Amino acid sequence: MTVVEVFVPAKVNLTLHVTGQREDGFHLIDSLAVFADVGDRLRITLPGDGRLTVEGPMAEGVPVDDSNLVLRAARMTGVRADFVLEKNLPHAAGLGGGSGDAAATLRVLAGFAGKPVPADGIALGTDLPLCLLGRAARVTGIGETVTPLPGLPALDAVLVNPNRPVPTSQVFAMLRQKHNPAMPERIPSFHGPADLVDWLGRQRNDLETPAIEAEPMIAQVFETLEKTPGCQLARMSGAGGTCFGIYQDAETAGSAAGRLAEAFPGWWVVAVRLNAPGRPG
């Protein structure tokens, strides 16, 4: 029997420009994405009977049938295993939790079988190629083109989700302007976090407006984050509804997270390090 434990980090879209829409309905994006030092944990036991158990603070509502992305990923590899998923990330939150769990499953099971990761993994979600890479990258196309960005500065931040799931399909359906400018062709080198934050402030997440229309509480999250002392930039990740605030250091971010958690006990609030070189393993 083999037991493998995997940390599955949250994905955060620092930018998300929607640049078009294909005839098949998929939207084209241009996004700068990084990973946080918080996330789910997945324990895989091989061989197994295909059982999935979900536990953790965000376990409620996570399916354990064949619709779960972990089990769908396992079927792609043809390897039978049992899984225990510790769900720490909120659902439909723009953090790539489901895709990250699926990516971890593909990596472990394909490696166990001595096979390459299935090339059609993107069928599990457009965040799948990014989550397979697992580090800072520029993501284009519908998510299938992932270009690593080594040397990107780490950032201290706070993630906030009002515990209101925001379906990605609904947000994209409500996006009125489908063709928007991409990021600059060349992403510059940054001398430090302040340089990166200044550049990010000139970029966008084109899904913020439709996400707020779908879930108005996101606007309250934005307003609240922006008012916390030391917040340099507030933006939404992915299609929502998680927003992030960036701060100059971990102490300021931690103080902001404490204030927010106390004022809004129903929200999911966590201080994080984005693009940290030594994430939990």
CATH code of 161's domain: 3.30.70.890
Predicted model pTM: 0.95
- The total domain count for the chain is 2
Residue 99 confidence (pLDDT): 95
Residue 90 confidence (pLDDT): 94
Strands (E), the chain: 2-13, 17-21, 27-46, 52-55, 82-86, 137-141, 145-148, 155-161, 233-236, 243-247, 268-274
Q: In the annotation, is 115 catalytic? A: no
Q: In the annotation, is 87 catalytic? A: no
pLDDT per residue rounded down to tens, the chain (281 residues)? 899 999 999 999 999 999 999 999 999 999 999 999 999 999 999 999 999 999 999 999 899 999 999 999 999 999 999 999 999 999 889 999 999 999 999 999 999 999 999 888 888 999 999 999 999 999 999 999 999 999 999 999 999 999 988 888 899 999 999 999 999 999 999 999 999 999 999 999 999 999 999 999 999 999 999 999 999 999 999 998 899 999 999 999 999 999 999 999 999 999 999 998 866 54
212 phi/psi in degrees, rounded to 5: -65, -35
Taking the C-alpha atoms of residue 235 and residue 195, their distance in angstroms, rounded to an integer, is: 17
Residue 277 confidence (pLDDT): 82
Residue 171 lies in a domain: yes
Residue type, 98: G
Let me know whether 125 and 45 are in one domain.
yes
| CB half-sphere exposure, 151, CA atoms < 13 A | 6
Catalytic residue among 37, 127, 156, 206: 127
Residue 118 confidence (pLDDT): 87
Residue 232 lies in a domain: yes
Single out the residue of 17, 164, 11, 13 nearest to residue 92, CA to CA. 164
Burial class (CB in 10 A: 0-12, 13-18, 19+), 72: middle
Residue 71 confidence (pLDDT): 97
The whole domain housing 107 covers: 2-146
